[in-house]
């Protein structure tokens, strides 16, 4: 089955063509340059840019895959969660395309896309598995029971991990999106130099909280400035990254143990972080758990994962009604 996937939940417009789970094309138009001067995504600018980009991106994805629109058998678009204005562009475009071209249409939960992104690899994880999904909008742990059944075991109570990376980058004067810059600085720093807090929350909790950590970094920087002590950015980045990664890894392994699961998968933009990938991999090895991480291009928002999740959603539930709307919060578990 040939599937056209469309993703526009935040600030990336993406379209992909898949033949079931084989990626024929995956095209992305990033808005980083537009939002970087504001230090974060400006929703109104994001939706306007999606409007400009969507048609050329879809045409480019079809062309790169070597197919015509008439060859497509299913259109899958992100329905939520995300920025409402951004979602509306991709979702309404897809519904209209489905209507005029008489191709079935399915709305996809963005989180299902991230959880299944690992299935775009040649080696696929067996079900059930624990998925740690960490991005600019979410930090959640899911139990994936099948291609369409997911339970949320824990989620962030405030900032997402990527959001914390971006905010810390902003307060240190690093460019947006901050994750890759903080991570690059961290390579030169000492992760044990500053003891930033780890928010473990209640005993056995699988929830996260990163806003206190972000405030601790701010307080540290302000104290250094007040005492006229030079701020060593690499040490701050390395110590901050160590605090985030330790909590993410510990709680993901805890989730696997609590639910007696032998496989862990990673997903979302923050899973591009080398320290997170390496430490989770080592921790899985030590605990005799199989570890799967997606290719970097499928970590961040992309339409290939939406096409894949759409395929399985369509097999299970059929078409999404033309009257259905976008949503800002995930419907999963
Ligand atoms: O999944 P994604 O592309 O978009 C959504 O947020 O939905 O994730 C983007 C997030 C940003 O917050 C970015 O700073 C973060 O992922 N990120 C990283 C790294 N690369 C991207 N965070 C830490 N380390 C990285 N190497």
Specify the long-range contacts of residues 101-105, CB closer than 8 Å, at least 24 apart. Answer: 101/69, 101/70, 101/72, 103/4, 103/69, 103/72, 103/73, 103/74, 103/75, 104/73, 104/74, 104/75, 104/314, 104/318, 104/319, 105/74, 105/75, 105/76, 105/77, 105/319, 105/320, 105/322
pLDDT at 333 over 70: no
pLDDT band (50, 70, 90) for residue 204 = very high
Q: Does the predicted model carry a pTM greater than 0.75?
A: yes
Percent of the chain having pLDDT more than 90? 95
Q: How many C-beta atoms lie closer than 10 Å to residue 175's C-beta?
A: 13
Q: Minimum mean pLDDT among 22-26, 39-43, 112-116, 125-129: which range?
A: 39-43
Span 138-159, pLDDT tens digits: 899 999 999 999 999 999 999 9
Specify the higher pLDDT residue, 300 or 19.
19
Tokens 């110590």 label which residue? Answer: 239
Atom of ligand 1 nearest to the CA of 299: 1
Span 248-276, pLDDT tens digits: 999 999 999 999 999 999 999 999 999 99
Contact residues of ligand 1, CB 6 A cut-off: 10, 135-137, 162, 165-166, 177-180, 183, 268-270, 272-273, 300-301
Span 2-17, pLDDT tens digits: 999 999 999 999 999 9
Q: What is the mean pLDDT of the chain?
A: 96
Percent of the chain having pLDDT more than 70? 100
Pocket test for ligand 1, best of 10, 30, 165, 298 (most atoms within 8 A of CB): 165
Tell the residue nearest (CA) to atom 5 of ligand 1.
136
Mean pLDDT within 289-301: 94
Atom of ligand 1 nearest to the CA of 268: 1
Atom of ligand 1 nearest to the CA of 166: 14
């Amino acid at each position: 089955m040939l599937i056209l996937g469309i993703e526009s939940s935040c600030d990336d417009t993406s379209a992909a063509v898949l033949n079931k789970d084989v990626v024929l094309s995956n095209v992305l138009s990033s808005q980083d340059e537009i939002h970087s001067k504001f230090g974060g995504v400006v929703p109104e600018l994001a939706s306007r840019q999606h409007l400009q980009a969507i048609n050329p991106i879809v045409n480019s994805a079809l062309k790169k895959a070597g197919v015509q629109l008439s060859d497509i058998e299913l259109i899958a678009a992100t329905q939520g969660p995300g920025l409402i204005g951004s979602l509306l562009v991709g979702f309404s475009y897809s519904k209209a395309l489905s209507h005029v071209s008489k191709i079935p249409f399915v709305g996809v939960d963005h989180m299902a896309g991230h959880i299944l992104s690992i299935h775009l690899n040649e080696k696929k994880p067996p079900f059930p598995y624990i998925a740690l999904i960490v991005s600019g909008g979410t930090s959640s742990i899911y139990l994936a029971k099948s291609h369409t059944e997911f339970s949320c075991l824990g989620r962030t109570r405030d900032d997402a991990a990527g959001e914390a990376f971006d905010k810390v980058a902003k307060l240190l004067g690093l460019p947006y999106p901050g994750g890759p810059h903080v991570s690059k600085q961290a390579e030169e720093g000492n992760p044990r130099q500053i003891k930033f807090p780890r928010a473990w929350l209640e005993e056995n909790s699988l929830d996260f909280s990163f806003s206190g950590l972000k405030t601790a970094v701010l307080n540290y920087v302000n104290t250094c400035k007040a005492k006229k002590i030079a701020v060593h950015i690499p040490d701050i980045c390395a110590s901050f990254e160590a605090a985030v990664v330790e909590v993410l890894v510990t709680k993901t392994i805890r989730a696997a143990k609590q639910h007696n699961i032998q496989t862990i998968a990673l997903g979302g933009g923050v899973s591009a972080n080398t320290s997170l990938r390496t430490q989770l991999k080592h921790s899985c090895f030590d605990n005799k758990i199989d570890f799967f991480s997606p290719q970097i291009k499928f970590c961040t928002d992309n339409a290939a994962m939406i096409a894949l999740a759409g395929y399985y959603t369509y097999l299970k539930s059929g078409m999404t009604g033309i009257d259905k709307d976008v949503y800002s919060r995930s419907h999963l578990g």
